Amino acid sequence: MGRGLFPDEMISSAYEIDYEAFYAKGYRGIIYDIDNTLVLPDAPADERAAALFERLHGIGFQAIVLSNNKGPRVSSFAEGVNGGYVAGGGKPLPRGYRQAMKQMGTDPEHTLFVGDQIFTDVWGANACGLYTILTRPFTRREEIQIILKRILEWPILALYKATHRREQ
């Protein structure tokens, strides 16, 4: 499992993950970040996200969104994908991740986390013992505080990539 700030895996998009393989390995729950992971920032749930959640349910997964955003934005998105949600999640603190697992009836050993930020998504999920998948953000047009975090992510991503290449 990833530790600290390093994800277990990096992938271009949440839509490219081999979910069937993870299900075969025993994973039963998936926690997603919303903005820049499933859709553009502040965008509503779209057909692609809804189809993903439908596919996941068909495989047998529980799926939920965890966001630091407020209730109306998060509940509206969750309704659009027919999934559960935790709003005001307080990432990277463990509270929101634990609440999401409780809603899904899963534990860290059987839960994946998929998100686009190291300092909120990955760090918090790793602290809870989840398998973490870091995706590329859809856009670089973000609020200034997120842009600053992205700049701090660069050396971590470079180290991860260098280490990952040596392991292969």
The C-alpha atoms of residue 135 and residue 89 are separated, in whole angstroms, by 19
Give domain status of residue 91, yes or no: yes
Whether residue 7 has a cis bond before it, omega within 30° of 0: no
Give domain status of residue 4, yes or no: no
Q: Which residue in the block uniquely carries the two structure tokens 């992205």? A: 150
Give domain status of residue 154, yes or no: yes
SS3 state of residue 79: helix
Give domain status of residue 69, yes or no: yes
Give domain status of residue 2, yes or no: no
User: Could you read off the pLDDT tens digit of each residue along the chain, which spans 168 residues?
Assistant: 446 788 999 999 999 999 999 999 999 999 999 999 999 999 999 999 999 999 999 999 999 999 999 999 999 999 999 999 999 999 999 999 999 999 999 999 999 999 998 888 999 999 999 999 999 887 666 566 656 665 667 667 666 666 665 444
The CATH number of the domain holding residue 31 is 3.40.50.1000
Query: What's the structural domain count of the chain?
Result: 1
Give domain status of residue 1, yes or no: no
Give domain status of residue 3, yes or no: no
**pTM for the predicted model, two decimal places:** 0.85
Q: In what order do the strands lie in the sheet with 111-115?
A: 9-11, 131-135, 111-115, 29-32, 62-66, 84-86
Residues facing 112 on adjacent strands: 30, 131
Give domain status of residue 13, yes or no: yes
Residue range of the domain that includes 162:
9-167
